[in-house]
């Protein structure tokens, strides 16, 4: 299959994972990397044997078909709109935008121009999550009833070299980690119809304990502890907790409950992990994962699927409709908290097609 030209904008912390994983997908042809910080782009290019170019030059390159947007969240929509204006498809790191209005603007622009947009996370395409979905699709849990989704930690200032953006508008545990959990739940259960919840910020500033900014104080402009409930269109009701304020906990990342069984889903921040299933009246058993992409960090699988989709003229899985729906759901927790009410979700999205065979081995998809 003819390769698809890729341009990377944003050479920060996450770019290393993307560039490493892209080596697994022959369809991806990286034409250049760019960043507002030219030295950062040159360093990343040198690390991976690539070419550092200016942003304008990358956008003007006719061999680039997809711009992979790895900038900070508040720049996601602006950079993606630049890519669309240049006639490029675009795939952004999560979240799609820092608010629903921004995300909708991007989706409308892509539709008008006849171009594709996509967004992380793509971890739901990993073998562990596809194995969990196969159990649900086979009817093994019966009618879905509910579930839990939990991410709680003390905060990213412990390890990230430049963590301030996690506490700016567009950050916080819901917009940072929520995309993994909610996207995976939509993959498993379908779209969300209503949201209720509370969102609070117990501290107004944080102290960085990572290097090189150890000891520096940073302001907190977003909720850092969010608890709520999602009602899904299929009738399931899932409790969710996202926090940067919890020292430790014993919840598993995702559980899904049905009338005939319970499913333990792997960490949605990873592609693989154990899948456990309990049939009503029995005990938990670990299900063997035979689906691909369960044995490593394939952070760019969504880009590769998008590239294959362009070549074979089919929908890509980590698509703009899914990302916009998840963004609206995440924003709804703050809206529900501020207004003391349940929020009805306006967007609709379809469950992405399952991914049960390797893209590299020639699987084009449905």
Residue carrying structure tokens 């996370």: 121
* pLDDT number for residue 358: 86
Q: What is the pLDDT of residue 365?
A: 36
Residues 67 and 9 sit within 8 Å (Cβ to Cβ): yes
Q: What is the pLDDT of residue 361?
A: 62
Predicted pLDDT of residue 82: 98
* 238, containing H or E segment: strand 237-243
Buried-state track 295-305, b at ≥16 Cβ within 10 A, e below 16: eebbbbbbbbb
Q: Identify whether 331 is part of a domain.
A: no
Which H or E run includes 337? helix 320-339
C-alpha span between 173 and 153 (Å, rounded): 9
Is 323 contained in some domain?
A: no
Residue ending a domain, choose from 268, 287, 306: 287
Per-block mean pLDDT, blocks of 10 residues, the chain (366 long): 96 96 96 97 97 97 98 95 98 97 98 98 98 98 98 96 92 96 98 98 96 96 98 98 97 98 98 97 96 96 98 97 98 98 97 90 42
Residue with token string 């020639």: 362
Torsion sign (Cα): 326, 327, 328, 331: positive
Helix residue ranges per DSSP H, 125-249: 127-137, 172-189
Pick from 31, 76, 38: which is nearest to 54 by CA?
A: 38
Continuous H helices in 49-171: 55-60, 76-85, 100-113, 127-137
Residue 135's domain comprises 124-287
Question: Can you give the CATH number for the domain in which 225 is found?
Answer: 3.30.360.10
What is the predicted pLDDT for the residue at 363? Answer: 43
pLDDT at 92: 98
Exposure of 281 by Cβ count < 10 A (0-12 exposed, 13-18 middle, 19+ buried)?
exposed
Q: 275 and 130, same structural domain?
A: yes
The pTM of this model reads 0.95
Q: What's residue 318's pLDDT?
A: 98
Is there a single domain that holds both residue 184 and residue 117? no
* CATH code of the domain in which 44 resides: 3.40.50.720
Q: Does 236 share its domain with 118?
A: no
């Amino acid at each position: 299959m003819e390769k698809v030209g890729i341009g990377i904008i944003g050479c920060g912390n996450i770019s290393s994972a993307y560039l490493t994983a892209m080596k697994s997908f022959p369809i991806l042809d990286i034409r250049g990397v760019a960043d507002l910080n030219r030295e950062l782009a040159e360093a990343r290019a040198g690390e991976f044997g690539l070419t550092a170019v200016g942003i304008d030059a990358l956008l003007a390159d006719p061999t680039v078909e997809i711009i992979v947007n790895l900038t900070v969240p508040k720049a996601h929509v602006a950079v993606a709109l630049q890519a669309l204006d240049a006639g490029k498809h675009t795939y952004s790191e999560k979240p799609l935008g820092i608010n629903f209005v921004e995300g909708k603007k991007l989706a409308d622009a892509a539709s008008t121009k006849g171009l594709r947009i996509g967004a992380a996370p793509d971890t739901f395409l990993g073998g562990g999550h596809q194995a969990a979905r196969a159990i649900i699709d086979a009817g093994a849990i019966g009618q879905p009833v509910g579930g839990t989704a939990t991410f709680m930690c003390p905060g990213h200032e412990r390890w990230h070299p430049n963590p301030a953006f996690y506490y700016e508008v567009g950050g916080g545990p819901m917009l940072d980690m929520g995309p993994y959990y909610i996207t995976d739940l939509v993959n498993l259960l379908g779209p969300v119809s209503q949201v209720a919840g509370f969102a609070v910020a117990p501290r107004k500033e944080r102290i960085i304990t990572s290097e090189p900014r150890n000891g520096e104080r940073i302001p907190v402009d977003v909720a850092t502890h969010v608890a709520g409930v999602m009602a899904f269109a299929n009738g399931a009701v899932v409790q969710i907790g996202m926090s940067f304020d919890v020292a430790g906990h014993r919840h598993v990342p995702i559980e899904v409950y049905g009338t005939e069984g319970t499913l333990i889903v792997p960490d949605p921040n990873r592609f693989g992990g154990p899948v456990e299933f309990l049939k009503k009246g029995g005990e938990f058993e670990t299900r063997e994962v035979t689906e691909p992409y369960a044995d490593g960090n394939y952070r760019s699988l969504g880009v590769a699927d998008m590239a294959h989709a362009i070549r074979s003229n089919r929908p890509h899985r980590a698509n703009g409709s899914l990302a916009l729906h998840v963004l609206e759901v995440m924003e709804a927790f703050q809206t529900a908290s501020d207004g003391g009410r349940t929020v009805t979700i306006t967007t609709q999205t379809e469950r992405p097609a399952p991914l049960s065979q390797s893209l590299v081995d020639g699987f084009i998809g449905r």
